[in-house]
Amino acid sequence: MIVTGLQGQPPADHPHGYPFLASVRDNVLACAKHFVGDGGTYKGINEGNAICSPDDLERIHTKPYPDCIAQGVATVMASYSQWNGEPLHASRHLLTDVLKGKLGFEGFVVSDWEGIDRLCEPRGSDYRYCVAQSVNAGMDMIMIPHRFEKFLEDLVFLVETGEISMSRIDDAVERILRVKFISGVFEHPFSDPSLLDVVGCKEHRLLAREAVRKSLVLLKNGKKQSETFLPLAK
């Protein structure tokens, strides 16, 4: 499992749902994504809408997450997509009740790139609304590539007016600090410069090429050359 490959194997008595990192030097934090149902959207549309019952959502789309959480995955990223019309970035039921509650996830939930902007149309036009909806849904860390000053301004306003409770802020901060503590970032804020020569080294590039060769799949375009499958007929 890739979570164990990145973070290391947690011991048998590791607390369920608690983030784990075997070594702050030899391992890295994993992120399970995208929660949840992004692979089951209507007609396979990217950032689309997964239309299914709660039972099917749990049986099919949520199925990989309990295993990731049992392995101590540190972070989970919310999906751009929707479930029965509700954006995942604003779903308190799925982020808080299911992921943090029922599944017992103790790490932090992070948004996708400008994910909260998609909670209104035009995107980001009512940013304060987007911030309130996502944070109150259970989003702990927001991925903001550009407008972080605006986010801070709106978040402070929403807390001061009581639209976002201090208990919600405390929960997010606790979860983020929990992951930072186990990551060793306070003791070792920088990566090991002695490993620079390993990045992109010849041995790694050869291994990458071997992985590509062994994983490529050659498809035949139709049963015979005169009856090709592609391009598709209009």
The set of catalytic residues is: 112
CA–CA gap between residue 175 and residue 145 (Å, rounded)? 21
Beta bridge partners of 77: 33, 110
Helix/strand/coil for 126: coil
Residue 231: alpha-carbon gap to chain centroid: 35
Closest among 36, 33, 163, 31 to 93, alpha carbons compared? 36
Longest Cα–Cα distance of the chain, Å, equals 70
Is residue 65 within 8 A of residue 79, CB to CB? The reply is no
- List of long-range contacts for 151-158, beta carbons under 8 Å, 24+ apart: 151/127, 154/127, 154/128, 155/131, 157/128, 158/128, 158/131, 158/132
On the 0-12 / 13-18 / 19+ scale of CB atoms within 10 A, 147 is middle
CA–CA gap between residue 44 and residue 46 (Å, rounded)? 6
Which region, left, alpha or beta, applies to residue 78 given φ > 0 means left and ψ of -120 to 50 means alpha?
A: beta
